[in-house]
Chain A
Amino acid sequence: MGWNKKVLRVNLTAGTCTPEPLNMEWANDYLGSRGLASKYLVSEIDPKVDPLAPENKMIMSTGPLTGTMASTGGRYTVVTKGALTNAIACSNSGGFFGAELKYAGWDMIIFEGKSPKPVYLALENDKAELRDAAHLWGKSCWETEETIKRLHQDPLTRVCSIGGAGENGVLYAGIINDLHRAAGRSGVGTVMGSKNLKAVAIRGTKGVSGIRDFPAFLAATTAAKKVLADNAVTGQGLPTYGTQVLMNVINEMGALPTRNHRDVQFEDAGKISAEAMHEKRPTDGKAHLVTNAACFGCTIACGRISKMDETHFSVKNSPKYWGASGGLEYEAAWALGAANGVGDLEALQYVNMLCNEHGMDPISFGTTVGAAMELFELGILSKEQIGLEAPFGSAEALCKLAEMTAAGEGFGKDLALGSARMCAKYGRPDLSMSVKSQEFPAYDGRSIQGIGLGYATSNRGACHLRGYTVASEVLGIPVKTDPLATEGKPELLKAFQDATGVFDSAGICVFTSFAWTLADVQPQIQAACEGDWSMEKLNLVGERIWNMERQFNLAAGLTGKDDDLPPRLKTEPCKTGPGKGVVSGVEQMMPIYYQVRGWTPEGVPETATLERLGL
């Protein structure tokens, strides 16, 4: 069994920590992590609950492969009803926190209620207690982690926490673990802050026991690691250049959303790319990139560790930002850079560090700044309202606005709303580049049609990681498809979405899917877990998870009308690149997608579909 079969239920209102057995019937149907935690959530809360009310719950969950020797088996997932989206939120993170939770002997932690005062959960193997966090409230994620480790006199304690963003109600606040890994999207940190829960600190020394068939597991994980090592993408491309290598690819394809999606190519893309991170700076002769880094058990090591130019205007008087730190990854570099027309690599790294330090999703923050810059350029927002000049391309404005948002000051309070609420407040909701109030990631839904459909249908709001059709449409994994074509994309997207549900629920990183198919994952799950975990069953599990999430969202009040893209993507064609003249075909693809899913024309799962999936 890959599970510890043990759940910790933390009632923050009552201040109690209670162990209970894992529901193994549900584990058999939903595997773990994303799927299993979502099953618990939808079974325990009213879908219409206010995400920031005590009645909402937040679950941190591992998968059966978390903490094992399976490559990338360090993931944990935070599931709740999202503050940004009012939909089911599911945000997973790497680093070392997830494995530590498993090592302490637990599969998941369910947080319910709201503490009357700031607290943090201290978990050391079986011993769990809520401790006063008054001295931590107001501290950044970095300070919180350091303080707790010092307090516990144990540098091996693993910590996840919220920073000022989560405390101040920034609607896209994330949860940061291991300094710069994040459960970043959908406002899971906002929910954590609403519960007065500052941090979770874990020390686990039990290891993982009870693997069902250890010799088979050793063979399966060894074989799967060889697949990753032998694959040119996971064995060489990602470790060397990280995700940032996509900056020039996507720009060349005319799919790099620029200046709030006004353009699809950024003239300064090269300056903020992976290649630029390798170049030596004229100021100090050093490259931005220091090294790559791996999360727990990962044999890919795509992470970036960089060091800023100490003379850059943003940090020249702030030595605490001069050390090596996480970033830049592609999504953050895009959202903070191209989305705002900012081509200053050092400024992007500074703001990315602020996002890690204070617990903000850089995708939603950066894209919201892009919308604010457009409002400024249109004269809808003035210098006086924002507190500074904020034209597209201003690195100074980007840095200042990040500081204001993290601190909850001035116009930062408007940026904290996210682009959908901010643009609505100023009378231009059409300028929010979002779906279900969550901002787009780094691919244009006009020039890459499948990912546009993916944004529209993602259960957690616009997201590339629910169904990364870019793998096929751009990179040719597993087969190359035409990014501008709409034909076949609903079917392609469904396959990606369902398979991703399994990867996420196993406790492994979705980046393995650049080399692995489900056929590589299946033997690892089968060897680790009791029961039948055939390919057929895993495919069903993935589809079941997707439909369960959908059912929750419908019950929460969302409808098929929320599966839509902003008018800009449907009416303003790409100005340049291969997609010049093209708009999103989302309205043509959606009916086919619903049909492929076994849903009604209104986007509601048919009874036969639900019965087939056991829902």
Chain B
Amino acid sequence: MRVTVKLYATLSDYLPAGSKNNRVEIDVAENAAVDAVLAPFLLPAKLTHLVLINGVFVPSDERVTTVLRDGDVLAVWPPIAGG
């Protein structure tokens, strides 16, 4: 299946060269979990902070078990804040 991975802020450095708009579409195994999808990007664990699937928060302890579906958008940020 095909999913979109978006890496923002300092994590954009971990996208493949030539990626635009902080995103890349990739093919992954059926029922791949969040951690498995992110593994090839080699993100530092402490920077893999805010994880959303289609805008919905995924707690860190559920990233091993939460699976993606075809067409899902997985977005990740390091620790950030605003106001």
Contacts and interface: CB of A to CB of B under 8 A. Distances in A.
Given A246-B82, A465-B83, 14 more contacts: A233-B79, A236-B78, A238-B80, A245-B77, A245-B80, A246-B81, A248-B22, A252-B6, A252-B75, A254-B55, A270-B21, A274-B9, A275-B9, A511-B81
Residue of A249, A270, A477, A510 ringed by the most chain B CB atoms within 10 A: A249
A468 interface: yes
Contacts of A482: 57
Interface string A227-244: 000011110111011111
Contacts of A240: 9-10
A236 B12 contact: no
Interface stretch (B24-32, B34-42, B44-52, B63-71): B44-52
A232 B77 CA distance: 12
A577 B12 CA distance: 23
Interface in B6-28: 6, 8-10, 12, 21-22
Interface of A: 231-234, 236-238, 240-246, 248-249, 252-254, 270, 274-275, 330-331, 464-465, 468, 470-471, 475-477, 480, 482, 510-511, 514, 577-578
**Nearest 6 CB-CB pairings of A with B:** A246-B82, A232-B79, A243-B82, A237-B80, A578-B55, A245-B80
A471 B81 contact: yes
Nearest to A237: B80
Nearest to B59: A480
A182 to B, nearest CB: 14
Contact of A514 (B21, B46, B50, B81): B81
Given A245-B77, A252-B55, A468 B9 contact: no
B81 A244 contact: no
B83 A249 contact: no
Interface centre among A231, A234, A253, A465 (most CB of B within 10 A): A253
Nearest to B79: A232
A248 B57 CA distance: 14
Contacts of B78: 232, 236-237
Nearest to A232: B79
Given A232-B49, A274-B9, A464 B83 contact: yes
Contacts of B81: 233-234, 237-238, 243, 245-246, 471, 475, 477, 511, 514
A477 B50 CA distance: 11
Contact of A246 (B21, B52, B57, B80): B80
A578 B79 contact: no
A276 B78 CA distance: 17
Given A245-B77, A252-B75, A275-B22, A237 B50 contact: no
A37 B21 CA distance: 47
A199 B78 CA distance: 42
B46 A232 contact: yes
26 contacts: A232-B46, A233-B79, A236-B10, A236-B79, A237-B79, A237-B80, A237-B81, A242-B82, A243-B82, A244-B82, A245-B8, A245-B77, A245-B80, A246-B80, A252-B73, A254-B55, A274-B9, A275-B9, A331-B83, A468-B83, A475-B50, A475-B80, A475-B81, A477-B81, A480-B59, A578-B54
Nearest to B47: A232
Contacts of A241: 9-10, 80
Contacts of A470: 82
Nearest to A482: B57
A86 to B, nearest CB: 26
Contacts of A254: 55
Contacts of A236: 10, 78-79
A252 B52 contact: yes
Question: Of B8, B10, B78, B83, which is in contact with the most chain A CB atoms at under 10 Å from its CB?
Answer: B83
A237 B56 CA distance: 21
Contacts of A475: 50, 80-81
Contacts of A274: 9
Contact of A249 (B21, B50, B73): B50
B71 to A, nearest CB: 15
Nearest to B73: A252
A8 to B, nearest CB: 31
Contacts of A233: 79-81
Contact of B8 (A232, A238, A249, A471): A249
B34 to A, nearest CB: 15
Contacts of A514: 81
Max count, chain A CB within 10 A of own CB: residue among B55, B77, B78 = B55
Nearest to B57: A480
Contacts of B75: 248, 252
Nearest to A510: B83
Contacts of A510: 83
B58 to A, nearest CB: 10
Nearest to B8: A248
A463 to B, nearest CB: 11
A348 B83 CA distance: 18
A591 to B, nearest CB: 28
A249 B77 contact: yes
A194 to B, nearest CB: 29
A577 B55 contact: yes
* Of B21, B54, B59, B80, most A-chain CB atoms within 10 Å: B80
A253 B55 contact: yes
Contacts of B73: 252
Contacts of B9: 237, 240-241, 245, 274-275
Contacts of A252: 6, 52, 55, 73, 75
